[in-house]
Structure 1
Amino acid sequence: MCKSLVVGRSHSIYCILPPHMLEHIAKKGDEKQRARAIDTLSTDHTMRQFRSVQAASFTQRRAMPMPAAAAPSAHRSIYTANQSETLPGAIVRAEGAGASGDVCVDEAYDGLGATFEFYLEVFHRNSIDDAGLPLLGTVHYGQDYDNAFWNSQQMVFGDGDGTLFNRFTIAVDVIGHELTHGVTEHTAGLNYLGQAGALNESVSDVFGSLIKQYVKKQTADQADWLIGEGLLAKGVNGVALRSMKEPGTAYDDPTLGKDPQPDHMSKYVHTTQDSGGVHINSGIPNRAFYLAAVEIGGQAWVKAGRIWYETLNDSHIKPSSTFKGFAQLTVSNANRLYGANSAESAAVTKAWKEVGVL
Structure 2
Amino acid sequence: MCNHVGHRRAPSIYCILPPHMLKEIAKNGTPAQRSVAIDTLATDHSFRQIRSVQSVLLAPKRGSAVAPVPAVPSAHRTIYTANQTETLPGTLVRSEGNPKSSDISVDEAYDGLGSTFEFYLEIFHRNSIDDAGMPLIGSVHYGQQYDNAFWNSQQMVFGDGDGTLFNRFTIALEVIGHELTHGVTEHAAGLLYSGQPGALNESVSDVFGSLIKQYTLKQTADKADWLIGAGLLASGVKGVALRSMKEPGTAYDDPVLGKDPQPAEMSQYVNTAQDNHGVHINSGIPNRAFCLAALDIGGHAWDKAGRVWYETLNDSHLKPNTNFKSFATLTVSNANRLYGSGSAEAKAVGTAWKTVGVL
Q: TM-score, normalised by structure 1?
A: 0.92
The alpha carbon displacement at 1:35 in A equals 1.4
Structure 2 match to 1:13: 13
- Displacement of 1:52 in angstroms is 8.4
SS of 1:136's partner is strand
Question: Aligned runs of 1:118-137 on 2, under 5 Å?
Answer: 118-137=119-138
Please, what is the CA RMSD of the aligned residues? 1.8
User: How far apart are the structure 2 equivalents of 1:85 and 1:51?
Assistant: 14
CA displacement at 1:69 relative to structure 2? 2.2
Partner of 2:79: 78
State the AA in 2 paired with 1:91: L
Q: CA deviation at 1:68?
A: 5.9
Residue identity in the other structure for 1:27:
K
Residue 50 and residue 295 in structure 1: after superposition, are their counterparts in 2 closer, same or farther (change >3 A)?
farther
Alignment deviations for residues 34-65 of structure 1 (CA, whole Å, 9 cap, x no partner): 112112223565566678899xxxxxxxxxxx
Q: CA deviation at 1:67?
A: 8.6
| Counterpart for residue 312 of structure 1 | 313
Secondary structure at the aligned position of 2:23 is classed as helix
Structure 1 unpaired stretches of 5+: 1-9, 55-65
Match of 1:177 in 2: 178
Aligned length: 339
Q: How does 1:35-46 map to 2 (within 5 A)?
A: 35-42=35-42
Give me the TM-score of the superposition, normalised by structure 2. Answer: 0.91
The residue correspondences of 1:122-161 to structure 2 (distance < 5 A) are: 122-161=123-162
More contact order relative to length (CA 8 Å, sep ≥ 6): 2
1:127 Cα deviation from its structure 2 partner:
0.1
Q: Report what 1:28 is aligned to.
A: 28
Query: Quick one: structure 1 residues 134 and 230, their matched pair in 2 at CA, closer, same or farther if it must change by over 3 Å?
Result: same
Structure-to-structure mapping, 1:1-358, within 5 angstroms: 11-42=11-42, 69-70=69-70, 71-358=72-359
1 CA distance for matches of 2:112 and 2:344? 33
Check whether the contact 2:40–2:146 (CA below 8 A) recurs between aligned residues: no
Give the counterpart letter for 1:169 in structure 2. Answer: T
Q: Kindly provide the amino acid, as one letter, of the partner of residue 111 in structure 2.
A: D
2:36–2:162 CA contact under 8 A, matched in 1: no
* Distance (Å, rounded) in 2 between the aligned partners of 1:46 and 1:161: 20
CA distance in 2, matches of 1:351, 1:126: 30
- Output the amino acid matched with 2:36: R
| Gapped regions of structure 2 (runs ≥ 5) | 1-9, 55-65
Shift in CA distance, 47/347, structure 1 to aligned 2, threshold 3 Å: farther
> 2:3 matched to which residue of 1?
none
| In structure 1, C-alpha distance between the alignment counterparts of 2:53 and 2:261, rounded to whole Å | 29
Secondary structure of 1:280's partner? Answer: coil
Secondary structure of the corresponding residue to residue 162 of structure 1: coil
In structure 2, the CA distance between the partners of 1:251 and 1:326, relative to structure 1 (3 Å rule), is: same
Note the alpha carbon deviations across 1:248-295, whole angstroms, 9 max, x for none.
000000000000000000000000000000000000000000000000
Q: CA deviation at 1:144?
A: 1.0
Tell whether the 8 Å contact from 1:172 to 1:208 is kept in structure 2 after alignment: yes
Identity over the aligned pairs, expressed in percent? 78
